[in-house]
Amino acid sequence: MKLFTEIGRFLLMLKGMFARPENSKVYWKEFMHQCSDIGIGSLGIVVIISIFMGAVSTLQTAYQLVSPLIPKSSIAQIVRDTVLLEFAPTLVCIVLAGVVGSKIASELGNMRVSEQIDALEIMGINTKTYLVLPKIVAALLVIPMLVVISAALGIWGGRIAGSAAQILSTTDFDKGLLQSFLPYNVFFAMVKAYVFAFIISSVPAYYGYHVKGGALEIGRASTKSVVVSCVLILFADYLLAAILL
């Protein structure tokens, strides 16, 4: 019953976000602030993870493909498809669930505990629309961009690693990138990115918005939001793969 209660409260929170905004300029300012916070604030960790993710994929793929009958250009194909289908959308979004999700949950939890949300509601402001909606919309805009950047940097990191370790030349790598390329893989990666972006932003916002207690409960809500977000991302990853592939 507790699970159904949590789902019901979550859906009611989403429903309450779509009330008519009081002042669009204020919402636009908050939206741009969240885009900067989520996008630029997470760019550094995404760049580092993506480059090394692609580099390690190249090295490990070359380690396993020992047969002389397999052309070296196939290493690039495997790295490309692995990065596009799984590493860029899923691994990066799991990291962002910890970086962005904990921040959203702790920020809203602190506002709830310090009664700032109650003060805004007394002033007649729809706090769900003002506090939660800009975070979700900003995540839906920015996180897919981060996934695209991650995919590009992952492939580039694999190309650099292959050349530096003298596994295959950049010409062979570029040749492998163009072989048997399926544009549908890019579409599948973007679908995953949007679904994961919604999970990363909405679940922590729910836990932070409904915090009760003090500083200890804020920490618990932040931790719980990250754990639930990661589990939902993995579950959604399986469902999307089963449905779309």
pLDDT tens-digit map of 219-234: 888 888 889 999 999 9
- What percentage of residues in the chain have a pLDDT greater than 90? 13
Mean pLDDT of 164-186: 82
> Nearest Cα to 143, choosing from 199, 87, 104?
199
**Contact (CB, 8 A) for 217 and 164:** no
Mean pLDDT of 175-184: 82
Hey, what are 146's tokens? 């981060």
How much is the pLDDT for 23?
A: 67
pLDDT band at 192 (very low <50, low <70, confident <90, very high): very high
Q: Which of the pair, 194 or 210, is modelled with greater confidence?
A: 194
Type of residue found at 12? L
C-alpha to C-alpha distance for 214 and 24, rounded to whole angstroms: 32
Hey, what are 185's tokens? 């893989």
C-alpha to C-alpha distance for 233 and 97, rounded to whole angstroms: 9
Mean pLDDT of 147-160: 89
C-alpha to C-alpha distance for 87 and 226, rounded to whole angstroms: 19
Mean pLDDT of 187-201: 91
Mean pLDDT of 41-52: 88
Q: Which of the pair, 203 or 1, is modelled with greater confidence?
A: 203
- 177-182 own/partner pairs: CB under 8 Å, 24+ apart: 177/76, 177/77, 177/80, 179/73, 179/74, 179/76, 179/77, 180/77, 181/80
Query: If you average pLDDT over every residue of the chain, what do you get?
Result: 84
How much is the pLDDT for 20?
A: 66
How much is the pLDDT for 21?
A: 61
How much is the pLDDT for 231?
A: 92
- What percentage of residues in the chain have a pLDDT greater than 70? 97
Q: Which of the pair, 124 or 235, is modelled with greater confidence?
A: 235
- This prediction's pTM: 0.87
How much is the pLDDT for 130?
A: 82
pLDDT tens by residue, 50-83 = 898 888 888 888 887 766 777 777 888 888 888 8
How much is the pLDDT for 195?
A: 93
Kindly provide the residue ranges of all beta strands, DSSP E only, lying in the chain, ordered along the sequence. none
pLDDT tens by residue, 90-138 = 888 898 888 888 888 888 888 888 888 888 778 877 788 888 888 888 8
C-alpha to C-alpha distance for 190 and 39, rounded to whole angstroms: 16
